[in-house]
Structure 1
Amino acid sequence: MGNFLDRMSAAFDFGERLDYFLLQEQSAVMEDFETEYRQSLQTMSLVQDALVSLTIAVAFMMAVAFMLPLIMGYDIYVLVALSGASLLVIDILSIIFIDLFLTHDDICHKLPIKPKEYLEMKAMFMPILAVVFVLLIVVLWLRPFGLWVSLLVAFAVSPLAIIGYNAKEFEGEVIKKDMAFPAFVRSLGGSMSARGGSLYGTLGPLRVHEFGVLNEPVERLYKRLLIRCDKFHSWLYFAGETGSSLIQRFGTIFIQVVTLGGDPEKASEIISNNFIKLLSLRELRLQLASSVKGVYYGTLVGVSGSAFASLRMVGILDATFKKSFSAIASTPSVASLTQGLLPSVGNIDMLLVEEILFWILVIHAFFSAYSIKMVDGGSRWACFLDFVIMLWLLAAVSIGVPALFDLVFSTGSSASGVVSGVTPT
C-alpha cells in the first residue's frame, strides 16, 4: 500500500489524470499476478518431479527391504511399517508443497450460498458414506465367495464414485459459466452505459439475449431486483448460484463500481479482459493437473506392482529354501552343516503382510486423489472419483502381479495373501 501511495503522489505531481493512473496500475498488478501465477506452475512442476522421484525411491526401498528377512533375518512387519511410514511422509509433503507453492485459484466459491447441484450432492454424501461403511464391514467380515480382499474393498468403496462423478459434472458446469461471464458482463456494462439507467432497467431487456448456462441465474437476478431486493445481496445470490469463484470476485467489483457511480462500460471492459486472462491461466493449471494426474496414476501402479511382486518373491524363495533345506536336513551328517546357512522368514503370516501393504497403498491412493484436486483447484468432492478408480487399479495389480508370478514360476507353495484370500497350504 505504501508503494502504491508513493506512485500515486508522484503521478499527481506530474499532472497525470487519476483514471489513467488507476488504469495503468491495474494493468501492472494483473501482469505481476500473471507472472507469479506462471512461476508457481513451473515451481509446482519441479516440486512434483522431486516428489515422484522420492516415491520411486521408496518403491525401490520396499522391493529391497522385503528381501532382507531372507538374507539377514529382519522382522518383515517392521519393514512393512517403515515403508508405509515413508510413503505417508511423502504424501503429506505433497499436500503441504501444493498448498505452499501453488497459487490459490479455486474453481468453486466458498460462499454460504450454494447452487442446488452442490446442495443435492452434499445431501447424498452422508447416506452414501453410510452405505460404504456397511459394505466394508460386511465384505471384510464375511469375505463372500472367498474373493480377494482388494476386490471386495474396491467394490465396497465404489458408491463414492457417484459423489465424485456429480462433483466432476458440477465443476464442468461452473467452468462453462465462467466462459460465458465475460460476454455477459460486457453486454451488461455496455447497455447500462448506453441507456444511462439502473441495473434493473438494463437487465430487463437484456434477458431476451442468449447467455447459455447463465440464462437461469440471470433470470433469478432480475426477479430479485424486480421485487426491490438489495443490489448487493441480489448479486451475491447470483454469484452463489453460479458456483464460480471468479464470478463471485469480479461480480462484486462490478456492482461496487456501478453503485459508486463509475463508468459501467469501462468497468465491464476491464473486468472482461482480466477475466479472460485468468481463464487462460487456469487452462495452463488444468494442463498441469492433467499431467500430475497421469503421474500419480502411473506411480500408484508402479509402487503397488513392485511391492506385491517383492512380497510374492519373498514367499516363493522362502518356500523354495525351506523345501531344499528340509530335504538336506534329512541326512544328519549334512544337517549340521546347513543349519543357519540362510535365514528364513519363519512362520510369518504372509496373508497378513500383504493385507497390511494393501491398506498402506489405499491410504496412498486417497492422498494422491486429493492432491490431484488441489492442483486443478476443483471441488474436493471430485477426489472420490479418482480414489475409486485408483482402488480398482490397485485391486487389479494386487491380483494380477502375484498371479503372473505363480504362472511364471509354477509354484503353489508361496503365500497368496491379499490376492487370493486363501491361506496357502
Structure 2
Amino acid sequence: MATSESDFLGDSLAFTSDLLESYGKLDISKRTYVLGVLVPSLGFFTLTILTAVLLELPLFVRLPIPGLGALVFVAAALYPKVYLSQRKVAIEKQLHLVMTHMTVLSTTNIDRMEVFRTLAAEEEYGILADEIAHVVHLVDTWNQSLDDACRRRAKEVASPALSDFFDRLGYTLGAGQELSDFLLSEQSAMIQNYSTVYEGALGNLEVMKDLYMSMILSMTFALVFATVLPILTGNDPTATVSAVIVLFMFVQVGFFLAIRAIAPYDPVWYHPEEEDAPTDLRLLASFVLGATLTVALVVITAGGLFNFTPVGLGDLLFFLDEVPLPLYLAVPVTPLVIPGVVYRIEEQMITARDGEFPNFIRALGATESAKQSTTSAVLETLREKDFGPLSPDVDRLYRRLNMRIGPVESWRLFSVDTRSYLIQKFSEMYVIGRQMGGDPKQLGELISRNMSTVNQLRQQRQQAAVTLIGLLYGITTSSAFAFFIGLEVVNVLADLTEEFSVSGSGRFDFGQLIYAGVYDIPLIEFLLLTIILFNGVLSSLMIRTIDGGNKMNAYIHFVMLVWLGCLTAVGTRMLVSTILAV
C-alpha cells in the first residue's frame, strides 16, 4: 500500500514538473500566459460556481454548470503540455515523408547541407521543416558543423522519434559515414516506427469508440429522465430537456475533437492550388445541385409550415394523410446525398490509383535503369501495361513528355489528374531525384516500398472506420428510440389526465399526481429532433475523420443518419401509441 502511494506521489511530482517546464516552451512568456489565460479561466470557474449556487433549478441541471467552468480552467492549466504534445504529433505524422524525401535527395549529386536546405524550404512539412531550418540556422549562422547542429537540436525537439533521429544522425556523420548510407540503412527502422505509431493511433481510436458509446448511452438515459421526470415533479420540462441537450452536444463535440486529435494524419486527396483537376467541374456541379435542391426544399418546407408559400411538404408527400414532424427535418436535407455519392465515387478511384502506383513507379525505375533511357522512352512501352484506374493518367503523362513539356510540369499535371496526396508527394520525389542524378531503380524501389506500407496501413484504418460506422448507426437508432419512447409515454399520460379531468367525479384531482400541463409536446419534439440533426452532423464528421477521406463524403452518412433517426422517431411514436391504446 505504501509502495503504491509512493509511486502515485512520484508520478504526480513528475507530471507537475513536466507541466511547469512546458510553460517555458510556449511561444509567449510564462507571465503573459498566466495573466492573460490562466487567471481569466480561474475567474470563469468561480463565476460558474456562483451561478450554480444562485440558480433555482434541479440539482442534476446545476451540477454541469461548474463542471463546465472546471473544464475550462483545467484546459487552460494543461494547455502548455497539450501544446507540446500537438507539436510532437505534428512532427511524427509527416516524419516518414520527410525521411523518405531526405533519403531520395541524399542519393543524388547534391551537397548534404543542400539536402537540409531543400527540406527546410518545404512549407508543406510545417513544424518538421521548422526543425530542419533550426539545424540549417545553426550551421549557416553560428558556423557549427552539421553533426554538432543535429546533436544540439536533438535536445530541444518535442518528438522523441525526431530527437533520436537527429542524435544518431549527428554521431554517425561525426564518425565519417555518408548521409545517403545512413538514411538508406534507416529506412526499415523508419517504416517500422511509422507503422507502430499509425497502429497505436488506431488502437487509441478503438478505446475512444468504447468511451463514446458509454457516454452517449449515459446521456441518452439522462435525456429520457429529463423528459419523463417533470410529469411527476411539475418542473419546467423545456428547461431540463434543453440543459441536457446542451450537455449532450458538449459531449459529442468533445469526442469529435478528441478523435480528430488522435486520428493519424494521412490525407487521401491532393488539392492543387494553381490548377483545377479534370474532375473538379463534376464535383462542383454535384455540390451546387445538391445545395440548390436542399435550399429549395427548406424554403418549401418552412413556407408551407408557416403558410408563406402555396406549396408545402404535404403537397410533395401527397401520398401521406398527415406528414409527421420528423419528416420536416429529413426530407429537406436529402439532396445533399448527391455530392456525397459523387465525391465518394471519386475517392474510391483515388484509392484504386494509390494501390497501382507502387507497381508503376517500381517498374518505371527498374526499366529506366536497365535501358539507360529517358522516362518518355520507357513510358512508350510501359503505358501498354494495365495499371487499372492509373492507366489513363500514365498515358497522359507519356503524351505530355512526348510533346516536350518539362518533366517537372508533366509530373505535376500527372499528380493533379490523379488527385492523390501520396502520388503527388512520391512522384515529386522521384522526378527531383532523377533530375539530380539519382539511380532510378533505387528511387523506384524506395518509393514503392514506402507507399505499399502506407496502403496496408490504410486498409487497417478502413476497417476501423467500418466498425465506427456500425457503432454510430446503432447508437443513433437506440438513442432516437429511447428519446421518443419517453416523449410518447408523456404524451399518452397527458391525454389520460385530460380524460380523467373531464370524466372524473371531483373526489380526486388526477392533476395533483401527474403534472401534464407543464409540457409543450411539439416544442420538446422539436428539441429532440435538433439532437438527431446535431448527431448526424457530428457522427458523419467522425466517420470522415477516422477514414481520412474528403469531408464532402460526410454528406452521405449525414443524410442516412438523419433519416434513420427520423424514421425511428416516427416508428417509435406509432408503436408506443398503438401498444398503449390497446
Is TM more than 0.5 here? yes
Q: Report what 1:417 is aligned to.
A: none
Task: Kindly provide the amino acid, as one letter, of the partner of residue 116 in structure 1.
Answer: P
Label 1:245 to 1:273 Cα distance change in 2 as closer, same or farther (>3 A).
same
Question: Which of 285, 298, 301 lines up with 1:136 in the alignment?
Answer: 298
Task: Note the C-alpha offset of 1:373.
Answer: 0.9
Q: How does 1:14-413 map to 2 (within 5 A)?
A: 16=177, 18-112=179-273, 113-140=275-302, 141=304, 142-144=312-314, 145=318, 146-328=322-504, 330-331=505-506, 334-335=507-508, 338=509, 341-346=512-517, 348-410=519-581
Task: Note the C-alpha offset of 1:143.
Answer: 3.8
Task: Kindly provide the amino acid, as one letter, of the partner of residue 244 in structure 2.
Answer: S
Task: Kindly provide the amino acid, as one letter, of the partner of residue 565 in structure 2.
Answer: L
SS of corresponding position for 2:397: helix
Task: Note the C-alpha offset of 1:318.
Answer: 2.5
* Cα displacement string for residues 24-80 of structure 1 (whole angstroms, at most 9, x for unaligned residues): 222222221111101111111111211221111110001111112111111111122
More deviation in 132-141 or 198-207? 198-207
CA contact (8 A) 2:270 2:421 kept: yes
More deviation in 107-116 or 164-173? 107-116
CA contact (8 A) 1:164 1:383 kept: yes
CA contact (8 A) 1:108 1:243 kept: yes
CA contact (8 A) 2:357 2:390 kept: yes
Identity %, equivalent residues: 27
User: In 2, Cα distance between the equivalents of 1:224 and 1:99?
Assistant: 40
Label 1:96 to 1:5 Cα distance change in 2 as closer, same or farther (>3 A).
closer
SS of corresponding position for 1:105: coil
More deviation in 69-78 or 282-291? 69-78
SS of corresponding position for 1:108: coil
Task: Kindly provide the amino acid, as one letter, of the partner of residue 30 in structure 1.
Answer: I
Task: Note the C-alpha offset of 1:410.
Answer: 0.7
Task: Kindly provide the amino acid, as one letter, of the partner of residue 398 in structure 1.
Answer: A
Label 1:131 to 1:19 Cα distance change in 2 as closer, same or farther (>3 A).
same
Label 1:12 to 1:384 Cα distance change in 2 as closer, same or farther (>3 A).
closer
CA contact (8 A) 1:132 1:157 kept: yes
Label 1:179 to 1:270 Cα distance change in 2 as closer, same or farther (>3 A).
same
User: In 2, Cα distance between the equivalents of 1:47 and 1:21?
Assistant: 38
SS of corresponding position for 2:545: helix
Q: Report what 1:421 is aligned to.
A: none
Q: Report what 1:8 is aligned to.
A: 169
Task: Kindly provide the amino acid, as one letter, of the partner of residue 262 in structure 2.
Answer: F
User: In 2, Cα distance between the equivalents of 1:373 and 1:83?
Assistant: 27
Unaligned runs of 5+ in 2: 1-131, 133-149, 155-164, 305-311
More deviation in 228-237 or 42-51? 228-237
CA contact (8 A) 2:481 2:568 kept: yes
TM-score (norm 2): 0.66
Task: Note the C-alpha offset of 1:9.
Answer: 4.5
SS of corresponding position for 1:209: coil
CA contact (8 A) 2:500 2:510 kept: no
CA RMSD of aligned residues (A): 2.0
* Cα displacement string for residues 354-393 of structure 1 (whole angstroms, at most 9, x for unaligned residues): 1221122112112111211111011111111111111221
Aligned length: 406
More deviation in 200-209 or 43-52? 200-209
CA contact (8 A) 1:285 1:376 kept: yes
More deviation in 314-323 or 275-284? 314-323
Task: Note the C-alpha offset of 1:351.
Answer: 2.0
Task: Note the C-alpha offset of 1:345.
Answer: 3.0
User: In 2, Cα distance between the equivalents of 1:184 and 1:368?
Assistant: 37
Q: Report what 2:94 is aligned to.
A: none
Task: Note the C-alpha offset of 1:343.
Answer: 4.5
User: In 2, Cα distance between the equivalents of 1:19 and 1:252?
Assistant: 19
User: In 1, Cα distance between the equivalents of 2:237 and 2:244?
Assistant: 10
Task: Kindly provide the amino acid, as one letter, of the partner of residue 484 in structure 2.
Answer: F
CA contact (8 A) 1:362 1:391 kept: yes
SS of corresponding position for 1:116: coil
SS of corresponding position for 2:326: helix
Label 1:204 to 1:77 Cα distance change in 2 as closer, same or farther (>3 A).
same
Task: Note the C-alpha offset of 1:326.
Answer: 4.9
Label 1:396 to 1:339 Cα distance change in 2 as closer, same or farther (>3 A).
closer
Higher relative contact order (Cα pairs below 8 Å, separated by 6+ residues): 1
Unaligned runs of 5+ in 1: 412-425
CA contact (8 A) 1:143 1:149 kept: no
User: In 1, Cα distance between the equivalents of 2:400 and 2:516?
Assistant: 73
More deviation in 58-67 or 125-134? 125-134
User: In 2, Cα distance between the equivalents of 1:9 and 1:134?
Assistant: 64
Task: Note the C-alpha offset of 1:83.
Answer: 2.6
User: In 1, Cα distance between the equivalents of 2:166 and 2:297?
Assistant: 62
User: In 1, Cα distance between the equivalents of 2:285 and 2:510?
Assistant: 65
Label 1:339 to 1:313 Cα distance change in 2 as closer, same or farther (>3 A).
closer
CA contact (8 A) 1:207 1:219 kept: yes
User: In 2, Cα distance between the equivalents of 1:138 and 1:323?
Assistant: 37
User: In 2, Cα distance between the equivalents of 1:42 and 1:260?
Assistant: 41
CA contact (8 A) 2:497 2:511 kept: no
